[in-house]
Amino acid sequence: MTTKTYRTAKEASGLKVGEYVKNFIAVDLHGKPFELKEALQKGSLVLIFYRGHWCPVCNKHLKKLEAGLDKIYAKGAQVIAISPEKSEFLKLTADKTKVSFRLLFDEDYRISKLFDVYFKPGTIHRLMYNNLLGAKLKEAHSDDSEQLPIPATFIIDSNAKIVWRHFDPDYTKRSSVEDILAHLP
């Protein structure tokens, strides 16, 4: 029997500014499809990866983004947030944060892998997330590997090119609305 090895957060590097994002399709918390190519026809996109409904830092970050949403929309951009959590858990995030932008299910970590932001937390962290914060990672995700995305932010222009990113393996460091506004095309 071989044991599958997973990578750490330090091994993820994220897509870089200047790279182009391949098209992807995902389903939101209401079961409605989202396609990147279609969304970019309406303008630039602010794409946020977050860990899940159980993460207080994620919830605080999403609430701050919601508070600045009018300013982001005024610059012609859209906002989506992506998590490896299934619909019923995305709904928990929506209930906790009251966000009005779309929350997408990253089934099988396909989008996290596309953006190179996925990793597997160590055993102690997973125990803490599951037992203290109620993450239920094996139940909430599409598999039982308990992988997570690095909470990163990417601004993608209408040509699918990354024009700015906030990428830091330290989950406490997040993009600000001011940073996003300063870098929107």
List beta partners, residue 25: 35
Task: State both tokens at 167.
Answer: 């990428």
pLDDT at residue 3, rounded to an integer: 59
How far apart, in whole angstroms, are the C-alpha atoms of residue 12 and residue 8? 7
- pTM for the complete prediction? 0.94
For 126-176, how does the pLDDT look when each residue is reduced to its tens digit (9 = 90+)? Answer: 999 999 999 999 999 999 999 999 999 999 999 999 999 999 999 999 999
Which residue positions in the chain have pLDDT lower than 70?
1-3
pLDDT at residue 5, rounded to an integer: 75
pLDDT at residue 58, rounded to an integer: 97
Beta carbons of 52 and 84 less than 8 angstroms apart: yes
What are the structural domains, with CATH classification, of the chain? 23-183 (3.40.30.10)
pLDDT at residue 40, rounded to an integer: 98
- HEC per residue, 59-83: HHHHHHHHHCHHHHHHCCCEEEEEE
Q: Which amino acid is at 22?
A: K
